[in-house]
Structure formats: C-alpha cells, structure tokens
Structure 1
Amino acid sequence: MSTESQQSAQKPIRVADGDELREVLDEHDRVLVDFWTKGCSLCQAIEPVLGNVARETGITVAMANPGDDIALVDEWNVRSAPTLVLVEDGEEVGRLAEGFQGGDDIEAFLDEHLD
C-alpha cells in the first residue's frame, strides 16, 4: 500500500466540495462518505469514530460539509447530519442516516454492504 493510501485509510479526508469528493471517489474503490454540518454535536462526536473505523477496516473515509457546496444536498439526497453513504466503484451501496453510530455499528454496516 502506498503512503498516500495508508494515510487516507488512517484518517478521514476532508473535501471542500463536490469536485473534490468526486476525485476521492474516482481514486478509491470503496469510500465511506460522511456528510456533516458545522455546529452539529453528533457530527463532531462521530469524526474520531470514523478515524478508528478507517484504521480498523482500511476503508477510505471522506468528509463533506454540504453547507460548503449546497449542490451536494440534492445530488446525494442528504436530509440529516450526520449521514454516512457507502460508495463502491462509484455507486451508492448503503446509507446510514440514523444519527450518531458507534464504531461497532459502523463496522457492522460496512460488513453488511460490502462483498
């Protein structure tokens, strides 16, 4: 694994907008996208959990704030924060939009939706 891949698998990648998100999705086969908003305490609480999940599973985690690129709200059908969307080969394969989730719950979600 390259150093860049190891870094992305170890800590979430913050993307500024939809273009950067598409770049991450193009570069990685599997990405867990965290849609978050400023001032959301659940979003802040889940960030370190996602870092742990990335390290444990090796999955790339991308964090996008739809408030910074409002087109993401409609494009990804984001209705609450945090919303986790699992993308494999550019296609959504799972969605978890039930508020804060612990690491075990997120890993179970990944296991359920990945081959």
Structure 2
Amino acid sequence: MSAAKAVTDATFADEVLNSEKPIMVDFWATWCGPCRAVSPILDKIAEEHADKISIVKLDVDDNPETAMKYGITSIPAMYVFQNGEVVKRVIGAKPKPALEADLAEFLA
C-alpha cells in the first residue's frame, strides 16, 4: 500500500526513537479514509526528501500500545520525532503543499 516502512510497538524504539535524523510517524488505520488519502502524499515527500527526513507508518489498530503512549485520539496524526522526542504534531489529512509547509524546518 505504501512505500513508507511500517513500524510496530515492538520496533518503535529502535526505528523511531533511536533514529539519527528526523523521522515522521504516520499514525493511521486501514478503515480511515483521510489516512488513505494522505498516504501517497507522504510517500512523495519521503522520496523527495529522503536525505533530510524519514517517514514510517504505525497502524493504531495493530499497535495500540504506542498509539496510547503518544495520546493518539484522532487520525491521521503525523508526529515528527527528533532525538527520541516529539518535536512537531500534524493532525488531519492535508494537501502536499500544506504538509511541506508544516515540515519546512526539517526539509530545509
């Protein structure tokens, strides 16, 4: 479905919290229409800015522990982590220019 790598409760710490560069986690679910709409946009951003930011996906239904830990109550929710900390939150599906504007500090 997506070019973005999937992470799970089990792999979250290794893949996200220990990442060398900024990493955006797309919290999503298969039944979520807006999540499916934003997925190809995130794939495109990941391709175009692979040297600056990584993008991974976490299915909130399959990985409730991590979703609960970060207080995910609305999806899609895209959190940017840097040095193991949440440094940016983007809630809801947005067009590519709006997402790139939200991520400008990480894409520069």
TM-score (normalizing by structure 1): 0.80
Deviation at 1:105, TM superposition (A): 1.1
Paired residues in the alignment total: 103
Name the residue aligned to 1:109: 102
Name the residue aligned to 2:48: 56
- 5+ residue gaps, structure 1, are 1-10
| Cα distance between partner residues in 1 of 2:106 and 2:45 | 15
- 5+ residue gaps, structure 2, are none
More helix by proportion, 1 or 2? 1
Q: Taking structure 1 as reference, are residues 114 and 55 closer, same or farther at Cα in structure 2, changes over 3 Å only? A: closer
Does 1:22 find its partner at 2:13? yes
For each residue in 1:5-29, what CA deviation from the matched residue of structure 2 results, as whole angstroms up to 9, or x when unmatched? Answer: xxxxxx31112x2221222111442
**Which of residues 63, 70, 75 is equivalent to 2:69?**
75
1:42-53 equivalences in 2 (<5 Å): 42-53=34-45
Quick one: higher RCO (CA 8 Å, sep 6+), 1 or 2? 2
| Cα distance between partner residues in 1 of 2:22 and 2:105 | 14
Deviation at 1:73, TM superposition (A): 2.5
Structure 1 runs (4+) greater than 3 angstroms displaced: 112-115
State the one-letter code of the partner of 1:109.
Answer: D
State the one-letter code of the partner of 2:25.
Answer: V
TM-score (normalizing by structure 2): 0.85
Q: Percent identity?
A: 25
CA RMSD of aligned residues (A): 1.7
